[in-house]
Each structure stands twice: as C-alpha cells, then as structure tokens.
Amino acid sequence: MTVPPPNPNDCTSIGQVVEWNGRQVECTIEGTLYGYYPSLGANGFFAAFFALCFFVQLGLGIRYKTWTYMIALCLGCFGEAVGYGGRIMMYNDPIARTGFMVQICCLIISPAFIAAGIYVTLKHIVITFGTSWSRLRPAWYTYIFICGDLISLALQGAGGGLASGGDDGSSTQQTGTNLMIAGVIFQVVILVFFGYFLVEYAIRTHRRRDQLSTESMQLLHSTPFRCFMFAIAVGYTGIFIRCVYRIPELTGGWRSELMRNETEFIVLEGVMIVLSVAALTIFHPGYCFPALANTIGKSKTSTREKSLDEGSDVERVAALK
C-alpha cells in the first residue's frame, strides 16, 4: 500500500488549503500520522472501561489492603483511560499535537504498570507454597522484576516524550522511537524471564505437592485461587501479545502500514489490555489470594519473610538438585 505524503507543517485543520513548495495543497486525513480518524466508539469504550476499572481497583485495594497491587493497577488503568482520551481528542482534531502527545505517552507506558502488578504476585506465591524449591529468595523476585519494569518504563516514557514532541520525520522523533522500541523489547525480555520463573516454580511445586501443608493444599485446589492464577495467565498473555505487536509497529516507522491500521491496533493493543485488566480486576487477589493482602501484622509478616529468606538456602539448593 502506498502511503500518501505527509501534510505540510502549516496545516491546522482537515480541508485547509496551504501553500507548500510554491503550490496550493489541501490538508487531508490521509496525510496525518495515522491516516484515519480514530474510532470514537472503540476509544470511548476503552476510556470508559479503564476509568471504571480504576475506581474498582481503588476500592478493592483499600478494602483488602493490597497496596502495591492496587497502586500498580490503578496507575495502569488511569494511564490507559487518559491515553484513549487522547485518541478521542484526535478524532475531533487529528492534526493537533496535543491528543497525539497524550495518547502516545500514556498508552506506551501504562501496560508496564499493569505488568508490575503481576510481578508482585510471584513473591507471595513462593512464600505461601514454600521457598525450598524456588531458585531465588522470595524478595528477589520483586526486586528483579520491578527494577526491570522501571527501566522499561523509563525508556518508554522518555521515548514517548521525545517522539510526541518532535516534528514528523525529525531526528528527535526518531530518537524517541528508538527509545520506545528499546523499552518495549526490554519489557518483553522481562516478561519472558518472569514467565519462566513462574512456570518452573509451578512445575516444581506440583512435583512436590505431597510435601505441601494441608493449608497450602486446600488453597492450591480452591476455586478462588485457581481463578486468580487464570487471571495472572490472561493478564500476562495479553500484555505479552501487546508488547510483541508494538515492536514491529514501532520499528516499521511512523506512517508505516502497520501503524496506520486501526483494526490491528484496537485488537492487539486495546482488546489485549482490556482482557488483562478485566481478568486482574474480576479475580482480585483480595478475595482470590488473600496471602497477597496486607491483613497480617507487619512484624509477623516481616519476621516470616526474613526467616524464609535467610533460613532456606540449604533446603533450596538441595531441592533444586
């Protein structure tokens, strides 16, 4: 498909006629960065959905005291809602930079916050079912994956800011694009490692299920916990698919055929994150996995984590053999 030439920089509205290189040129929707009016219905639904999930996550987080999970999911939902609000602004004025800047910055970084909410669950799963067959101490899962997520956020955020602020085709825009690509690729790498550690721990736990306590066995076979693990799987898969989609979209360059295909954007970006957030909200850990909630005295929890971290190294090495 041949991509139409970009509109002149003097364009301020669709249908406007400006002078460019000594001739009169009409500003068209095809000449904009995306080449289409963003769907008002789809983007309105996404904005409303994520705004609703923001308040639901906030209420559930306060109710069950899942503070870290709540902060991560609320930031992700808020960013998604604002980002799709930016696309609604682009529907009303596809040439103005404001809507583009809002949507590119918010939609590129928000899934990383949602991923952070998923990352914090592994530590509590390991503490609940046993650290002996975990490759790492429980706290290290949080340190490693959250730090990796922050690096990904920094790269994508800086890239989104540069790309949205630079002129079409400028070196600033290209630098921003490269940073976003690096951030998304780094996020995919972190997701792959997280998936590996989670699946490996699940396999090791299953093989040693006869060593689990009665309480752990009851939790493992309970419907709420299985629903929670289903939510983690859906959330993880949705974010992973979205990130994989973003890599060729960004590497193809601005105004590429993939970037100008709204249907693929709606399905592989919007719908994937909707499914992720819906699963993580419906099967909230507050009632599906109470071990994640901060309902036990802090001193008791801290003492237990310290004991698990410091006292199980020999057992862990023996179990991994």
Instruction: For residue 71, tell me if it sits in a domain.
Output: no
Instruction: For residue 157, tell me if it sits in a domain.
Output: yes
Task: Please check whether residues 255 and 129 belong to one and the same domain.
Answer: yes
Tens-digit pLDDT profile for the chain (321 aa)?
566 778 777 788 888 888 777 788 888 888 888 999 999 999 999 999 999 999 999 999 999 999 999 999 999 999 999 999 999 999 999 988 899 999 999 999 999 999 999 999 999 999 999 998 899 999 999 999 999 999 999 999 999 888 877 766 678 888 999 999 999 999 999 999 999 999 999 999 989 888 888 999 999 999 999 999 999 999 999 999 999 999 999 998 888 899 999 999 999 999 999 999 999 999 999 999 998 875 433 434 444 545 545 445 545 544 555
Contact 41, 262 (CB under 8 A): no
Task: Please check whether residues 21 and 120 belong to one and the same domain.
Answer: no
Domain total of the chain: 2
User: How far is Cα 191 from Cα 319, in angstroms, rounded to an integer?
Assistant: 25
Task: Please check whether residues 22 and 116 belong to one and the same domain.
Answer: no
Instruction: For residue 45, tell me if it sits in a domain.
Output: no
Contact 173, 142 (CB under 8 A): no
Residue 47's H or E segment, with its range, is helix 40-64
Task: Please check whether residues 142 and 234 belong to one and the same domain.
Answer: yes
Residue 65: other Cβ atoms inside 10 A: 14
Instruction: For residue 100, tell me if it sits in a domain.
Output: no
pTM here is 0.89
**Parent domain of 27:** 1-31
